[in-house]
Structure 1
Amino acid sequence: MISALSSSSIATNRVRTKICGVTTAADAQAAAAAGADAIGLVFAAGSSRAISIARAGEITAALPPFVARVALFMDNEARLVEQVLASLPIDLLQFHGSESAAFCASFDTPFAKAVPMGEPGVRLVEWAERYDRAAALLLDANRVGQAGGQGETFDWQAKLESVAQPIIIAGGLNPDNVSEAIACFSPYAVDVSSGVERERGAKCSAKMKAFVDAVNQAGRA
Structure 2
Amino acid sequence: MHVKFCGFTQLSDIQTATQLGVDAVGLVFYPPSPRAVTLAQAQILSTAIPAFVSVVALVVNMQQDELVELADNVSFDIIQFHGDESAEQCQQLASTVNKRWIKALRVNADTDSAVSVRAQVDEFAKAGASSILLDAYHQHKYGGTGARFDWSLVPQDSSLPIILAGGLTADNVAATLELPIYAVDVSGGIEIDKGKKDPAKMRAFMKAVKRDRWQNATPSEPSNTSS
**Fold-level match, TM-score > 0.5?**
yes
Q: Which residues of 2 match residues 23-34 of structure 1 at below 5 A?
A: 23-34=9-20
Larger RCO: 1 or 2 (CA < 8 Å, sep 6+): 1
Residue 200 of structure 1: how far off its partner (Å): 1.4
Residue 118 of structure 1: how far off its partner (Å): 2.6
Gaps of 5+ in 1: 1-14
Q: Is the 8 A contact 1:70 1:94 kept in 2?
A: yes
Q: What's the CA shift string for 1:114-170, capped at 9, x where partnerless?
A: 111135322212212221211000010124662211111001234625111000000
1:127 corresponds in structure 2 to: 120
Q: Is the 8 A contact 1:118 1:140 kept in 2?
A: no
Percent identity of paired positions between Structure 1 and Structure 2: 36
Give the 3-state SS of the residue equivalent to 2:89 in structure 1.
helix
1:181 to 176, 185, 188: 176
Q: What's the CA shift string for 1:68-123, capped at 9, x where partnerless?
A: 10000111212221111111221110011111212211222111101111353222
2:200 to 169, 193, 206: 206
2:21 corresponds in structure 1 to: 35
TM-score by length of 1: 0.88
Instruction: Look up the equivalent residue of 1:112 and give its one-letter code.
Output: I
Q: Which residues of 2 match residues 1-221 of structure 1 at below 5 A?
A: 15-106=1-92, 107=94, 108-118=98-108, 120-122=110-112, 123-132=116-125, 133-143=128-138, 146-158=141-153, 160-183=155-178, 185-220=179-214, 221=216
TM-score by length of 2: 0.86
d(CA) in 2 for partners of 1:214, 1:142 = 26
Give the 3-state SS of the residue equivalent to 2:56 in structure 1.
strand
Instruction: Look up the equivalent residue of 1:63 and give its one-letter code.
Output: I
d(CA) in 1 for partners of 2:121, 2:151 = 18
Instruction: Look up the equivalent residue of 2:12 and give its one-letter code.
Output: A
Instruction: Look up the equivalent residue of 1:134 and give its one-letter code.
Output: A
Give the 3-state SS of the residue equivalent to 2:171 in structure 1.
coil
Check 1:163–1:210 CA distance in 2 against 1; reply closer, same or farther (3 A cut).
Answer: same
Gaps of 5+ in 2: 217-227
d(CA) in 2 for partners of 1:189, 1:156 = 14
Give the 3-state SS of the residue equivalent to 2:122 in structure 1.
helix
The structure with the larger Rg is 2
Instruction: Look up the equivalent residue of 2:210 and give its one-letter code.
Output: N
Q: Is the 8 A contact 1:43 1:72 kept in 2?
A: yes
Which stretches of structure 1, 4 residues or longer, exceed 6 Å deviation after superposition? none
